[in-house]
Structure 1
């Protein structure tokens, strides 16, 4: 992609608006907390302290909107405390230009490294630097600096208290994550009716797994319907695929296929009902046609072999999902008993599912998280780390913007470094998109707010009211688009500074030009010192090849040493495969908008290789769906297949990484040897052939973009 096209695409992305569900109650709660802090601060301490405390309350409210599974009060307190420390240190060094510049470099570098702990930590840390640049310009003494910092922390405490006292849809994010996972599987079941080899995106299941991790305090308050359903849903997916796939199930047409389609439709309806119940905390309303389709005794007479076993297991798992999704009431207990009886025919049920389910996932507290975050940041201190490059880039740009803002004859030069630190991200597309959005939003917001200030001359309290109103608009539209949010943020800053009288001497032109300067510095820095994803695509693809190969090897090894469907090594390999696949997809999405050449991996080759590896993983999932129970007769030939899969994919991953054509000789030799003496199992022989076909497609995909040595 050329630079001109890349700029065009990122600009369009930055200015786009998404249609998201608005949450006015949550926005009103954040605005209420801000209004309380500003009102009390004005009444007791005056405008200067009110401005500082308002920034603390505003930043704490923004933190509660971040996509994080931690409790919202914890995020608000962490944001308020970290901003108080940043501002206090800024006040102490603000009168010494060189000392403050050193602090700014150090603090911004650490904020850049904070992205190693995740986007929530990175956004909060970057916002702390930006707000510190504004608040330290407010005149005060060192003795009063501690009071300002304390009031900033009080702003965070107020927002945290309001989250507790005025709860809005408790556990809403976790409910949505689990409901989305069940709805994704319902959609998968319906698509399998028409396309028996339809792909499945594991991201909703991964999101639900992340949401299921709770702190010890959360674990004591988590609703019962949020515990257990995800684990059952994980086991439903391979059963659905096995039931639909003609390679291991029923023919593509005929009465067996009609029965399978009926079962898949019923599964989709029941999963949708469970998803709706979990999302809204209501009892499950079972669709009578779906229940009748699962209860009919025709399954045993129409289906046989693997497809019959898959149908019975599906009915049992769906009964478990329905029971787990029920809120615990007397009515739901009765329905749970009915769901349990439906699964009894397959020898399963909620009790068996509970025994098979892994232990609940725990999330460390903030205190215990600190050394983990520190270790993650230290791990990024290597030359090839994109996070380290981002930290160097953002600290250099912020310091440069601060110096240029001080030299230029505009006054209030913090607008330039504030814009830079807020738009810069570790990847190209987000940095450029946010730079354009920041400039556009600032242009509109500052123009409107400054026009109001200079024409109407609102007093302190009216300016405070307008600032709260702008904050409400920001909270309401925070998830619809960065440009829309920046309109309200820019106006919020103007009205807030007008309360204290610090922004009266600056015009619209000055503020917009400094914001443009900050955005241009950010964009120029990425062009000069980039961290392109395109050259690393082969490494991401190789990681996926190795991970999915280990997953297939772990599955086939369990046929030689049966340990039951809940084998921990299979589960761990599956999770690693999902992580590698998502890392590849995210890298490919970022690389698509980069103005660099593909360097050995074209878009067509990447798309074909992705399809082939997804098919390889699907075949391994079919093998997992029929894992023998613990104590079942072993299949010795499976050990040979597992070993050949491991060797072939490890070697192939190395060849992909080294830009050579991957070969799969170990697996090919195993499949060829089985042509004369196939293993005594209905799936292994066919599975080996299907896995080899998928890997050969990877080779075909990469041959066109690889130089053969």
Structure 2
């Protein structure tokens, strides 16, 4: 993509206002906390302290809007406290400019590194640095600075108290995550009616899994309907696929296919009903017609063999999910790890998830609920520090981001102080607020910041000129601007930045500053800060495009371990291989998510591919997704203990495990992977004439690996030391490539 197109796309993204579900009650609660803090501060300490405390309460409320599965009060307190510490330390050094500049560099670098611990922590840390640049100018003594810091902590405490006293949709985010997973499976069931090999994005299941991890305190308060349903949902997905897949025995047309379509439609209706019940905390209203479909007497005469077993298993799982959504406690982890019985399939098609099945047949008795453990907020601190240390190396995108942030913050502060505009902190403030570890977010936020600032400042200036507000009215207008920002926060950066600009104008006006002192310079310095942020990324980038091969190699390696674990379960059914299969699947899902995130970022970058074209990347993705589907359908029917072992599956699994490891290494080195060991293991298996179903699936695995090599064979070859392209070894060629025809 050219720079012109990349800038155009990111600019359009930055000023786009999305249609999102608004949460007015949460916005009102955040604005109420801000109003309380401003009113009390004005009454006790005056406008300057009110402005500082308002920033603390404002930022604390923003922190609670971030996507986090942790208790919101803790986020508000952490945000207010960290801002107070930043402000107090900043004021102690502001009189000595070199010392303050050093503090700013260290603080900005730490804020940049904090993105390694997650976007929520990264956003809070970055906002603290940006707001510190404003709040350090408000106190006039150390005592006042301490008082302002204390009021910032109070602002965070007030927001936390309001969250506790007036909860809005308690467990709402967790409910939404689980409901989204069930709704995604309902949509998947409907698509399978028309496309028996339709793809499935496991992202909702991954989000639900993240939401299912709770702290001990949360575990004691979690609603019963949030227990166990996720594990059942994980097991439903492969059963839906195996029921619809023609390779399982159901013809593409005819009475059996019609009955399968009816079953899939009924399953979708029941899953939607369960999702609605969980999302709203209501009893499940299961459609009677959907329940009756699974009780139709002639189903046994229409469906036989594997399809009938899949139908029976699906009926049981749907009953479980409806019962669980109605509030009955169920275990979390054990159920999600149990696969279904039956025969495997070698169906082909694009899929990205695999199955969450694990152990043998599902238990029929209820046991005490178990939970996935999430560390407490304090226990998260060493984990965050460990994540930051892990990214502290030269090639890390996070380290590059931290370096850019610190350099730009220092440069912007020096330029702002040098220019005869006053309030020079607006330039570094803008830079710190808009900079992100990836290109598209940095540039889109810079455009949104500038456009939103112009609109917000214009509206606020018009209001000030028309009403000439005093201290009280300025504070009221600031609260109203903050409330509107909280309401529109999820609709995009443009609306958010416009509200923030108006909020700052009104808040500083409350302290006695005229609009003529802030408006022109704010616009100019905001433009300069955004330009510095964009220039820094262009000069010292962290492009994702050159790392696509590494991401693809990681996905291949983890996908190979998952497929090998599935075949290993057939080689030795007496062993407890389910946990290995489950862990391998989760690792493969994580690698798949990293690949898709990398592709999304690389698509917006003005960088040419280096060894992996867009077409090759798409074809390779299809091949790996297909590999996951083949393994998923085989894993959906793992043999029970006592079943006949398939010894050749062990040799095939070993060959697959080693070959995918070597194949991943070849991809990183820009070579085409080969699968000679896998082919030899399959040839040996063919001569032994054992389980044909599993062996046929192994054939499909080899086919998908061959397709992967064909896709990568169109990539740019590596360069030798003398700058010439070496001769490529004989191997599969892509028939779509004109050069190979």
Fold-level match, TM-score > 0.5?
A: yes
* Residues in 2 aligned to 1:80 and 1:594: alpha-carbon distance in whole angstroms: 36
8 A Cα contact 1:224 1:328, kept in partner: yes
For residue 664 of structure 1, what is the aligned residue in structure 2?
A: 675
CA distance in structure 2 between the aligned counterparts of 1:577 and 1:629, rounded to whole angstroms: 24
Contact 1:242 1:249 in 2 (8 A): no
Unaligned residue ranges in structure 2 (runs of 5+) = 331-339, 341-359, 718-727, 730-741
* Change in 2 beyond 3 A, CA 1:278/1:105: same
* Distance in 1 between residues matched to 2:297 and 2:570, nearest whole Å: 31
Question: What does 1:262-301 correspond to in 2, within 5 Å?
Answer: 262-301=262-301
Match of residue 134 from structure 1: 134
Report the secondary structure of 1:295's partner residue. coil
Distance (Å, rounded) in 1 between the aligned partners of 2:698 and 2:212: 35
Q: Find the residue that maps to 1:384 and give its secondary structure.
A: coil
- Structure 2 CA distance for partners of 1:613 and 1:230, relative to 1, 3 Å: same
Match status 1:458 vs 2:469: yes
For residue 50 of structure 2, give the secondary structure of its aligned residue in structure 1: helix
Distance 1:578 1:485 in 2: 33
Question: Could you say which residue in structure 2 is the equivalent of 1:499?
Answer: 510
Q: CA RMSD in A?
A: 1.9
CA contact (8 A) 2:116 2:387 kept: yes
The alignment's TM-score, normalised by the length of structure 2, stands at 0.91
Distance (whole Å) between structure 1 residues aligned to residue 328 and residue 617 of structure 2? 48
Change (3 A) 1:285 1:313: same
State the number of aligned residues: 691
**Aligned match of 1:696:** 706
- In structure 2, the residue matched to 1:339 is none
- Aligned residue in 2 for 1:352: 364
Of 594, 605, 618, which residue of structure 2 is paired with 1:594? 605
Q: Which residue of 2 aligns with 1:373?
A: 384
Matched, 1:182 2:194: no
In the alignment, the residues of structure 2 paired with residue 104 and residue 584 of structure 1 have an alpha-carbon distance, to the nearest angstrom, of 35
Contact 1:398 1:420 in 2 (8 A): yes
| Secondary structure in 2 matching 1:241 | helix
Aligned partner of residue 478 in structure 1, secondary structure = helix
CA distance in 1, matches of 2:264, 2:15: 41
1:675 to 666, 683, 686: 686
- 1:316 is matched with 316
* Contact kept in structure 1, 2:72 and 2:163, CA below 8 Å: yes
* 1:576 counterpart residue number: 587
The match for 1:386 is: 397
Question: Secondary structure of 1:663's partner?
Answer: coil
Q: Are the counterparts in 2 of residues 435 and 519 from structure 1 also a CA contact under 8 Å?
A: yes
Aligned equivalents of 1:637, 1:349: Cα separation in 2: 24
- Structure 2 match to 1:166: 166
Stretch of structure 1 that moved more, 533-542 or 84-93: 84-93
Contact 2:408 2:533 survives alignment (8 Å): yes
CA contact (8 A) 1:565 1:627 kept: no
Q: Give the structure 2 partner of residue 27 of structure 1.
A: 27
Provide the residue aligned with 2:226 in structure 1: 226
Aligned mates of 2:249, 2:657 — CA distance in 1: 27
SS in structure 1 at match of 2:568: helix
How far residue 358 of structure 1 moved from its aligned partner, in angstroms, is 9.0
CA deviations on 1:292-315 (whole Å, 9 max, x unpaired) are: 111223332222222222111111
| Mapped contact 1:232–1:353 kept (Cα < 8 A) | no
2:496 matched to 1:485?
Answer: yes
Asked if 2 retains the 8 angstrom alpha-carbon contact of 1:439 and 1:512, the reply is yes
Deviations 1:586-632 (A, max 9, x none): 00010001111011111111111111111100000001111012333
Cα shift readout 1:120-166 (whole Å, capped 9, x = no counterpart): 00000000001100001113200121111110000000001101111
Q: Does 1:403 align with 2:418?
A: no
| Deviation digits for residues 543-569 of structure 1 (CA, Å, limit 9, x no counterpart) | 000111100000110111225898111
| Match in the other structure for 1:335 | none
Q: Is the 8 A contact 1:613 1:694 kept in 2?
A: yes
TM-score normalized by structure 1? 0.95
Residue 100 (1) aligns with residue 100 (2): yes
Partner of 1:156: 156
Are residue 545 (structure 1) and residue 556 (structure 2) matched? yes
What's the offset of the Cα at 1:507?
4.6
Change (3 A) 1:349 1:547: closer
Please state whether the residue corresponding to 1:247 is helix, strand or coil: helix
CA offset at residue 119 of structure 1?
0.4
Q: Report the more deviating stretch, 694-703 or 589-598.
A: 694-703
1:445 to 2:456 alignment:
yes
Superimposed CA distance per residue, residues 87-130 of structure 1 (whole angstroms, 9 cap, x where no aligned partner): 11111111111111111111110000000000000000000001
* CA pair 315-241 structure 1, distance change in 2 beyond 3 A: same
SS of 2:373's partner is coil
Distance 1:503 1:85 in 2: 29
Q: Quick one: distance in 2 between partners of 1:492 and 1:565? A: 60
Aligned to 2:723: none
Q: Note the alpha carbon deviations across 1:334-360, whole angstroms, 9 max, x for none.
A: xxxxxxxxx9xxxx99963756x9941
Q: Deviations over 1:71-100 (max 9, x none)?
A: 111111111111111111111111111111
* Alignment partner, residue 39 of structure 2: 39
Q: Give 1:642 shift.
A: 1.1
2:23 and 2:577 mapped to 1: Cα distance? 40
Ranges in structure 1 where 5+ consecutive residues have no aligned partner: 333-342
Q: Which residue of 2 aligns with 1:340?
A: none
CA distance in 2, matches of 1:31, 1:564: 58
Superimposed CA distance per residue, residues 348-403 of structure 1 (whole angstroms, 9 cap, x where no aligned partner): 99963756x99411111121111111111011111110000000000100111111
Q: Is the 8 A contact 1:284 1:322 kept in 2?
A: yes
- CA change 1:544–1:182 in 2 (3 A) is same
Aligned pair partner of 2:372 in 340, 353, 361: 361
The SS at the match of 1:285 is coil
